[in-house]
Amino acid sequence: MTINIRWVLKNIPKQILILLLGTMVIGSFEGLVNGIVLGGFPGLVNANSGQLTRFLVMAAGLYFTTYTGLYFEQMLVNAAVKHLNIQLKATMLITSFQTGEQTSKGLNHITNDAGQIENRYFRVLSGITESSIAAVISTVFVLRVHWLMGLVFVAFSALSAIPMLLGKNRLAAIGKQWSQANDQTMQAGTDWLTGRRDIVQAAAQKTMFAPVRHALQHSERTFQRQGNLQWTIQYGALLTVILSLVGPWGIGFWLMTHGGYGITLGILLTLSLTANNAVQNIEAVMQQWGQLASTRELRNLPAQPQPFADTTTAVLPADQAAYALRQASLDYGPDHSILAPTTLTIPARAKVLITGPSGIGKTSVLNLLAGWQAPTSGQVLLAGQPAAPTAVAYVAQEPWLFAGTVRDNLTLHDAAVPDAAVRQALADVQLLTELGPDPLNRQINPDSSDVSGGQRQRLVIARALLQHKSVLLLDEITAGLDDENSRAIRELLYALPLTIIESAHHLDSDLLAKYGFTEYTLHDQRLEKVNAAPTVIQAVG
Contact 283, 241 (CB under 8 A): yes
Residues 475 and 410 in one domain: yes
Per residue in 308-335, pLDDT tens? 766 556 678 888 889 999 999 999 888 8
Q: Is residue 303 part of a domain?
A: no
The residue among 168 and 429 whose pLDDT is bigger is 429
SS3 content of the chain, % helix, strand, coil (to 5): 60, 10, 25
Greater confidence, 279 or 379?
379
Asked if the structure places residue 310 within a domain, the reply is no
Number of domains in the chain: 2
Domain that holds residue 395: 318-538
Separation between Cα atoms, residue 181 and residue 65, nearest integer Å: 47
Q: Which of 188, 212, 208 is nearest to 199 (CA)?
A: 208
- Pick from 130, 158, 155: which is nearest to 29 by CA? 130
Per mean pLDDT, which range of 91-95, 211-215, 398-402, 529-533 is the poorest? 529-533
Return the closest-CA partner of residue 439 out of 425, 449, 453: 425
> Which phi and psi (to 5°) does residue 395 adopt?
-110, 110
Q: How many residues does the chain have?
A: 541
Bridge partners (DSSP) listed for residue 439: none
Share above pLDDT 90 across residues of the chain, in percent, rounded to a whole number: 36
Q: Are residues 289 and 358 in the same domain?
A: no
Please give the angle made by the CA atoms of 526, 531 and 533, to the nearest 5 degrees: 135
Residues 161 and 58 in one domain: yes
pLDDT at 532: 54
Strand partners, 380: 325
CB 272 within 8 A of CB 245: yes
Average pLDDT over every residue of 336-344: 91
Bridging pattern class, strands 337-346 and 323-331: antiparallel
Closest listed residue to residue 88, CA positions, set 311, 295, 286: 295
The answer to whether residues 442 and 436 touch, using CB atoms and an 8 Å cutoff, is yes
Residues 140 and 102 in one domain: yes
Q: Looking at residue 12, what is its pLDDT?
A: 95
**Maximum CA pair distance of the chain?**
116
Band of the pLDDT at 109, cuts 50, 70, 90? Answer: confident
Provide mean pLDDT across the span 518-523.
90
**Which pLDDT score is estimated for 260?**
65
CATH number at residue 516: 3.40.50.300
pLDDT given for residue 61 in this prediction: 93
H or E element at residue 393: strand 393-395
What pLDDT does residue 538 have? 33
In a domain? residue 313: no
Is 224's pLDDT higher than 70? Answer: yes
* Rounded Cα gap, residues 487 and 481, in angstroms: 9
- pLDDT value for 541: 30
Predicted local confidence at residue 80, as pLDDT? 96
Q: 111-121 in b/e burial notation, b at 16+ Cβ within 10 A?
A: ebbbebbbebb
Tell me the average pLDDT across 437-447: 89
370 and 427 assigned to the same domain: yes
Same domain, 99 and 201: yes
pLDDT band at 534; cut points 50, 70, 90 = very low
Percentage of the chain lying above the pLDDT 70 cut: 95
Q: What is the mean pLDDT of the chain?
A: 86
Q: What is the CATH number of the domain that holds 117?
A: 1.20.1560.10
Confidence of residue 533 (pLDDT cuts 50, 70, 90): very low
